[in-house]
Amino acid sequence: MARFFKKREEARGQSPGELIFIGEQKVANIQCQRIDYNASHVNEFNIHDIKDLSIPPDEMLSWININGLHDTSAIKEIGHLFGIHPLALEDIVNTGQRPKMEEFDASVFIVIKMIRFDMDNKMMVNEQLSIIMGENFVLTFQERPGDVFNPVRERIRRQKGRIRNSGSDYLAYALMDTVVDNYIHIVERLGEKIEDLEEDILNSPDSGVMEKISSFKREINYLRKSIRPAREAMAQITKLENGMISHGAIPFFKDLTDLITHVTEAIDTYRDLLTDQLSIYNSVVSNRMNDIMKILTMFSSIFIPLTFITGIYGTNFDYLPELNYRYSYFILWGVIIFIASSLTLFFKRKGWF
């Protein structure tokens, strides 16, 4: 089950500047892919030793993607190389962060959650993506390999769209746009399942429905918690005044803010829908109960009095005049039929069947 907090136990009381990796170790070694590009050139590297990492050349824009955060000394080295604030470094390795944006002198630090549906394992994967956006570089830190950025890589390689002609702000935008596109995809999938639940509720309200409602509620709350704070972070980016975001890139970040707003509204709508569905489910169950009780009451109310009557004439009194009368038995049947009909009519009048 998804826990709200990542275990921070070990980090409690540590010096705020200390780097302690919080999370499970998800990759054997730190992996580092680097793409340097400008309008005319693209160079890709796989860097195996963090020591080989260098400041990007002046006339190029460098995207450095790091997978795996457990090797805190390597992270520290990268931080030193690119002049990352210690608090940002701490947040990168402590992967239980709330999505946020922080402004430093020559860089912007962004934490968002990368949520994707892992087709192989049929499960939702949620990991922390930390982005450091500098003048001519973008660093991305992931907990493990496997991400949603291949379309961006393709665009850089194939010189598609405006990405090759834009700065680090646009690259950061393109990466986050891809992440947000995946939010939509995930919420869409879940939303469809929730909407489909409605029919089940009205037609076959068994306890499986309730388990589904309960599990969808948990999932939607989990998504909400992961995505919602990102809206505020994104909105802050559009208001940055440290010159890191060029004038032309602002509309793109605004668009992204709109998109996240859209997603969070969708999440809220689905939350409300689930609450409504639970209410309706309860009403359906109550209605069923009524139907069950009606059947019980009809059977009991008709046959219990009749049984009583037969009981009367089943007694063994020596002197019971009706017993000797020849037509008693038939009269008994008459009385029985009369009582049964009257009660049936009574229930029909009440609209019970």
Query: CA-CA distance, 58 to 263, in Å (whole number)?
Result: 38
Q: Which two tokens stand for residue 82?
A: 């690119």
Q: How far is the CB of 48 from a second copy (least distance, A)?
A: 28
Q: Helix or strand or coil: residue 142?
A: strand
Nearer to a second copy, 13 or 243 (CB): 13
Q: How many CA atoms does the CB half-sphere of 129 hold within 13 Å?
A: 29
Cα-to-chain-centroid distance, residue 4: 12
Q: Which two tokens stand for residue 312?
A: 């009367």
Judged by CB under 8 A, the chain residues 8 through 47 that form the site for a second copy are: 8-9, 11-18
Q: Helix or strand or coil: residue 127?
A: strand
Among 240, 278, 339, 344, the residue binding a second copy under the rule CB under 8 A is 278
Q: Which two tokens stand for residue 171?
A: 């690259």
| 235 makes contact with a second copy (CB under 8 A) | no
Q: How far is the CB of 191 from a second copy (least distance, A)?
A: 5
DSSP state of 249: G
Q: What are phi and psi of 123, to 5 degrees?
A: -145, 160
Nearer to a second copy, 50 or 101 (CB): 101
The residue type at 264: T
| 163 makes contact with a second copy (CB under 8 A) | yes
Nearer to a second copy, 17 or 243 (CB): 17
Stretch that binds a second copy, among 26-34, 48-56, 185-193, 237-245 (CB under 8 A): 185-193
Among 24, 276, 338, 342, the residue binding a second copy under the rule CB under 8 A is 276
| 80 makes contact with a second copy (CB under 8 A) | no
For residue 50, give the nearest of 34, 27, 65, 30 by alpha carbon: 30
Q: How far is the CB of 90 from a second copy (least distance, A)?
A: 8
Q: How far is the CB of 89 from a second copy (least distance, A)?
A: 12
| 157 makes contact with a second copy (CB under 8 A) | no
Token pair 């008459």 in the structure block, residue: 334
| 195 makes contact with a second copy (CB under 8 A) | yes
Q: Looking at the chain, how many residues does it have? A: 353
| 266 makes contact with a second copy (CB under 8 A) | yes
| Neighbouring residues of 103: CB distance < 8 A, sequence distance ≥ 6 | 109, 240, 242, 244
Nearer to a second copy, 14 or 25 (CB): 14
Nearer to a second copy, 67 or 178 (CB): 178
Judged by CB under 8 A, the chain residues 236 through 255 that form the site for a second copy are: 251-252, 254-255
